[in-house]
């Protein structure tokens, strides 16, 4: 199928489905017959939940990473609060309550699921609601309800089970009619995964539909990853969730029907697993780099136990290639991942100092602690934060000298109004836990550059001095130091939960400026 013809077909689907959803009869066309599913075909959830998160949800003290206020799940599903709608109505948090177990967890989930179903069914044209009824969200909800059905619904009364199954049929009917209107590949992939789950759980044999949907899923992913197996958006989180979706699809197909997946699926999964392993930090989690755009609005950063499970069931080949646009310095005790490619501004880094120049930003973990969430630079020109990432020319080099791993990167940003250059040299100690960095900045005009350090939410800033700040994570302590005579340091009390430091560097035209900084583990 040619590219132009495919675009025409997609446009036709968008137009047709938009008109269909606006129809007064669309709601009546949705199938609510829960009898199409065989609950004995619902497979057991393969993923481990987070016990700590589950307990916090029950205690109403769970805080989503980056927020400052506890999440109220019940208010969100009923529409009283619209914060984190995608996460809440995707229902993946049920898995964390499953880790807690017990009747109180089951009763809580049943109460929330019932409240959600009653709330949307009372609303007129609920399918037009563009948050909890996006294809991506609906797909995640279907998958999570099917996987976790034995936990929260199997032991419930008949009325609750009928309600859940009829709602699943309604979701499935809606997704069948609408998923082809999705032009973004990510929600379309999640929708296809959900449809495959439904086909595999039906009383009647849907072998051919499983095969067709799996083939369509493979074709879409093939268009979305590059030659080394990395998701083209550049987001490790998006990459992992697509990798996880492939694993889930393979799992449900093999456990429900004859294996209809192409052998190329296995190769693709292996390549994506290799890239996932590259993006792992010392704490077991995955890199926070957000790339050009974050497609996944439902799934937050994956838990380390889910990453362990995903990698443990894949036979990873010996691939030498690494993701384009990233460099990793790694020892037995520390890891640093550096973005080496100029990208558009991150859409979900929720910090008031956006935008940055979005190149050579890095994050670091020491031992089991992720300390540095992000370190990058922003530029202030005529009082405004300036984007200067287009047309960048870069040079990078990685080497090893004595007892340190070295990274050198240089970038030039030609602009209609000024020229700007930055150089970043990073050293990571092989034996200890120390990260050292030297930043050089040069501009053709007078401006202010700000080096930003965004620490993880677990970090506490103590003993803030003129040239150093003592950081702590639990019992571990780290010393953050920087050296420059003409600096202006600002500790930001931002609207997020991330402790932030910004160091201002006034730059005179044609005069380079240098800043040395380091983070070292004390205990």
Q: Identify the H or E element spanning 269.
A: helix 264-278
99 pLDDT higher than 90? yes
At residue 60, does pLDDT exceed 90? no
For residue 5, is pLDDT > 60? Answer: no
Per-residue confidence (pLDDT) for residue 352, from 0 to 100: 43
Query: Per-residue pLDDT tens for 343-385?
Result: 665 434 445 445 577 788 899 999 889 999 888 888 877 777 7
pLDDT tens digits along 187-242? 889 999 999 999 999 988 888 888 888 888 888 888 888 888 888 777 888 889 88
Is 326-521 a domain of CATH 2.60.40.10?
no
CB 287 within 8 A of CB 298: no
Residue with the larger pLDDT of the pair 159 and 180: 159
On average, the pLDDT of the chain sits at: 83
More confident residue, 289 or 169: 169
Residues 310, 215: Cα–Cα separation, whole Å = 22
In this prediction, residue 429 has a pLDDT band, given cuts at 50, 70 and 90, of: very high
User: Do 434 and 416 contact (CB within 8 A), yes or no?
Assistant: no
Q: What is the pTM of this model?
A: 0.87
Average pLDDT (51-80) is 84
Contact 363, 464 (CB under 8 A): no
For residues 295 and 187, give the distance between their C-alpha atoms in angstroms, rounded to a whole number: 8
Window from 79-93, 249-263, 303-317, 407-421 with minimum mean pLDDT: 249-263
Residue boundaries of the structural domains of the chain:
182-318, 326-521
- Per-residue confidence (pLDDT) for residue 514, from 0 to 100: 87
In the 3-class helix/strand/coil scheme, how is 29-51 assigned residue by residue?
HCCCCHHHECHHHCCCCCCCCCH
Q: Is 174 exposed, middle or buried (0-12, 13-18, 19+ CB in 10 A)?
A: buried
Helix (H, G, I), strand (E, B) or coil at 477: strand
């Amino acid at each position: 199928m040619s590219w132009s013809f495919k675009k025409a077909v997609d446009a036709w689907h968008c137009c047709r489905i938009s008109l269909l959803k606006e129809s007064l009869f669309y709601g009546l066309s949705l199938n609510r017959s829960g009898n199409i599913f065989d609950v004995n075909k619902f497979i057991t959830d393969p993923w481990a939940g987070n016990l700590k998160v589950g307990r916090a949800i029950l205690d109403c003290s769970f805080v989503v990473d980056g927020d400052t206020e506890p999440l109220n799940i019940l208010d969100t599903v009923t529409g009283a609060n619209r914060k984190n709608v995608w996460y809440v109505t995707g229902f993946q948090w049920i898995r964390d309550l499953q880790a807690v177990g017990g009747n109180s967890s089951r009763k809580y989930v049943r109460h929330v699921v019932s409240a959600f179903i009653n709330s949307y069914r009372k609303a007129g044209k609920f399918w037009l609601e563009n948050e909890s009824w996006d294809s991506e969200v609906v797909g995640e909800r279907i998958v999570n309800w099917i996987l976790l059905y034995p936990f929260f619904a199997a032991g419930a009364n008949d009325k609750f089970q009928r309600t859940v199954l009829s709602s699943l049929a309604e979701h499935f009917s809606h997704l069948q009619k609408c998923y082809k209107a999705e032009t973004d590949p990510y929600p379309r992939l999640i929708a296809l995964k959900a449809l495959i789950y439904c086909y595999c759980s039906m009383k009647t044999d849907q072998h051919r539909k499983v095969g067709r949907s799996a083939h369509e899923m493979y074709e879409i992913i093939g268009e979305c990853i590059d030659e080394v197996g990395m998701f083209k958006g550049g987001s490790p989180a998006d990459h992992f969730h697509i990798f996880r979706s492939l694993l889930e699809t393979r799992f449900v197909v093999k456990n429900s029907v004859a294996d209809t997946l192409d052998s190329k699926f296995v190769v693709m999964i292996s390549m994506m697993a290799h890239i996932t392993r590259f993006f792992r930090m010392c704490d077991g989690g995955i890199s926070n780099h957000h790339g050009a755009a974050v497609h996944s609005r439902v799934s937050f950063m994956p838990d380390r136990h889910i990453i362990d499970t995903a990698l443990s069931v894949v036979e990873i080949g010996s691939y030498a290639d690494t993701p384009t646009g990233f460099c990793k310095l790694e020892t037995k005790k520390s890891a640093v991942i550096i973005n080496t490619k100029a990208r558009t501004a991150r859409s979900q880094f929720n910090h008031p100092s956006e935008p940055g120049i979005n190149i050579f930003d890095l994050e670091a973990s020491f031992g089991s602690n992720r300390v540095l969430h992000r370190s990058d630079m922003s530029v202030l020109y005529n009082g405004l934060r300036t984007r200067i990432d287009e047309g960048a020319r870069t040079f990078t080099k990685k080497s090893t000298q004595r007892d340190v791993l070295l990274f050198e990167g240089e970038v030039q940003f030609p602009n209609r109004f000024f020229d700007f250059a930055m150089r970043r040299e990073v050293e990571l100690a092989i034996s200890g836990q120390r990260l050292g960095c030297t930043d050089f900045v040069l501009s053709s005009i007078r401006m202010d550059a700000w080096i930003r350090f965004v620490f993880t939410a677990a970090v506490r800033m103590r003993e803030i001095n003129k040239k150093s700040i003592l950081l702590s994570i639990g019992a571990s302590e780290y010393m953050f130091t920087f050296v420059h005579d003409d600096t202006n340091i600002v500790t930001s009390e931002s609207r997020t939960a991330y402790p932030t430091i910004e160091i201002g560097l006034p730059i005179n035209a044609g005069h380079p400026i240098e800043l040395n900084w380091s983070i070292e583990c004390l205990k």
